[in-house]
Structure 1
Amino acid sequence: MTRASRGVPSARVVTVLALCWARLCGGTIGFDDRSGLYVCTGLRWGYARGGTTIGGVFLTNARPSAGLLRHEAVHADQWARFGLGFAVRYLLEEMRNPGSRNRFEIEAGLADGGYGRSG
């Protein structure tokens, strides 16, 4: 758990909640050593776009590529840096600068995240 939450107590709590959410949404939980993330696939609902990282957990339907997991690992680091406030920061940024203009997505790497040039 510590690796996935980057050792931050608030991110650890969110990570546990996200793992519970994954089970409720019908997901299969695994751990990716390279990215240090719990990867929950097979979700029928409960995530945005192609997938969502909450704490140290990546929630999605399909098996993600290595590039996408690199991108999502940066989001896990952002959760660790900003704590529980990251969700609010991200949503506010997304309202002002959606998609490929979102500074958190830019930091995570647009190409790895599957964003085209137009976003």
Structure 2
Amino acid sequence: MRVSRGVPSVRFVTALATVWGRAWGGSVSFDDEFGLFVCSGMRGGFARGGTTVGGVFLTRRPPTRALLRHESVHADQWARYGIGFAVRYLWEELRNPGSRNRFEIEAGLADGGYRAERGITRPDEP
């Protein structure tokens, strides 16, 4: 699922995120392979090593292909759940932080730079 297929509210959030990224000094490009806007070179305004908001990955450094694959799953999650994904993600992060977060597991822990805890696999893995 590409974020462009998401609900109108997610497209609006994507537009706001690009403005946010530019305000923090980032430059915006589009990755055709993953269908994701990338705003890199930001001075701040994102969590951890980067944050996907709507269909935009906000970060300081240019991302690897693996990280973009991970973040594109988060963009798909935004498209699937709509603007409510932000609340769902934060609630999950409070209950199961980092590599225990089901949304991070679905996105692929290794691609996202997480170390998997014992017994945790992606939902599509045995």
**Given the two structures, how large is their TM-score scaled by the length of structure 1?**
0.93
For the pair shown, which has the larger CA radius of gyration, 1 or 2? 2
Aligned residue in 2 for 1:35: 34
Q: Once the 2 structures are TM-superposed, how far is the Cα of residue 4 of structure 1 from its aligned partner?
A: 4.3
1:6/1:56 contact within 8 Å kept: no
1:89 partner amino acid:
R
**Are residue 73 (structure 1) and residue 87 (structure 2) matched?**
no
* Deviation at residue 46 of structure 1 after TM alignment: 0.4
Number of residue equivalences: 116
Q: Kindly report which structure 2 residues correspond to 1:1-119, keeping only aligned pairs within 5 A, or say none.
A: 4-118=3-117
User: Following TM superposition, by how much is the alpha carbon of 1:102 offset from its aligned partner in structure 2, in angstroms?
Assistant: 0.1
Structure 2 gaps of 5+ residues are 118-126
Please state how far the C-alpha of 1:6 moved relative to its aligned partner.
3.0
TM-score by length of 2: 0.88
Q: Deviations over 1:53-85 (max 9, x none)?
A: 000000000000000000000000000111010
CA distance in 2, matches of 1:4, 1:42: 22
Supply the RMSD in Å over aligned alpha carbons: 1.1
